[in-house]
């Protein structure tokens, strides 16, 4: 069976209802972290918490393990050194919040790779840069939802 997971922007734009019914859908706990952190109220946070428990029980929740954390760290290291090479030895400052978003995206990619799951994303440039170092399969959301 082929598996897929979606990054946070896809979950927000598409909603979870239809995705949950799609065969092979796995939910990333990293995405749930981002959704919970931005929940507009306590009832929405509790909804996401229930999803965490339900997907965990069904074994359809991708939870990064120790190796995923280490691999994501390596990816971030390699991305930083690649940026430095491109910028002629300097390391320009990233936009506010960008390093945090890249860290979470690297963690999503590393853990999806372990599950052999494709990542469906609207955030193509970030994940394409990450893919260079980890080989995770990517699918553009616009192609996936045709």
pTM: 0.90
pLDDT at residue 129, rounded to an integer: 93
pLDDT for 9 beyond 70 = yes
* Residue the block writes with tokens 């052999």: 116
Q: What is the dihedral of CA 25, 110, 79, 6, to 10 degrees?
A: 10
Give residue 133's domain range: 3-144
Beta bridge partners, 138, equal 119
Distance CA 112, CA 45 (A): 24
pLDDT tens digits, 77-114: 998 888 777 777 676 776 776 678 999 999 999 999 99
User: Where residue 18 falls among pLDDT bands split at 50, 70, 90?
Assistant: confident
| Residue 29 · residue 54 · CB < 8 Å | no
Number of structural domains (the chain) is: 1
Mind listing the pLDDT tens digit for each residue in 129-140?
999 999 999 999
**CATH number (domain holding residue 35):** 3.40.50.1010
Q: Which residues, in sequence order, are CB contacts of 109 under 8 Å at separation 6+? A: 72, 75, 119, 127, 130, 131, 134, 136
135 phi and psi, to 5 degrees? 70, 15
% of the chain with per-residue pLDDT over 90:
76
Give the per-residue pLDDT at 67: 98
Q: What is the mean pLDDT of residues 11-30?
A: 92
């Amino acid at each position: 069976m082929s598996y897929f997971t979606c990054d946070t922007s896809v979950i927000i734009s598409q909603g979870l209802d239809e995705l949950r019914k799609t065969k092979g859908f796995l939910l990333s706990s990293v995405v749930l972290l981002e959704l919970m952190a931005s929940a507009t109220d306590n009832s929405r946070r509790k909804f996401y918490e229930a999803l965490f428990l339900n997907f965990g029980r069904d074994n359809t929740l991708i939870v990064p393990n120790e190796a995923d954390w280490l691999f994501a760290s390596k990816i971030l290291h390699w991305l930083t050194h690649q940026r430095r090479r491109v910028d002629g030895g300097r390391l320009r400052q990233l936009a506010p919040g960008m390093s945090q978003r890249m860290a979470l995206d690297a963690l999503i990619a590393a853990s999806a790779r372990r599950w052999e799951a494709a990542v469906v994303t609207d955030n193509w440039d970030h994940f394409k840069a990450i893919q260079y170092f980890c080989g995770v399969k990517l699918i553009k959301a616009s192609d996936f939802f045709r």
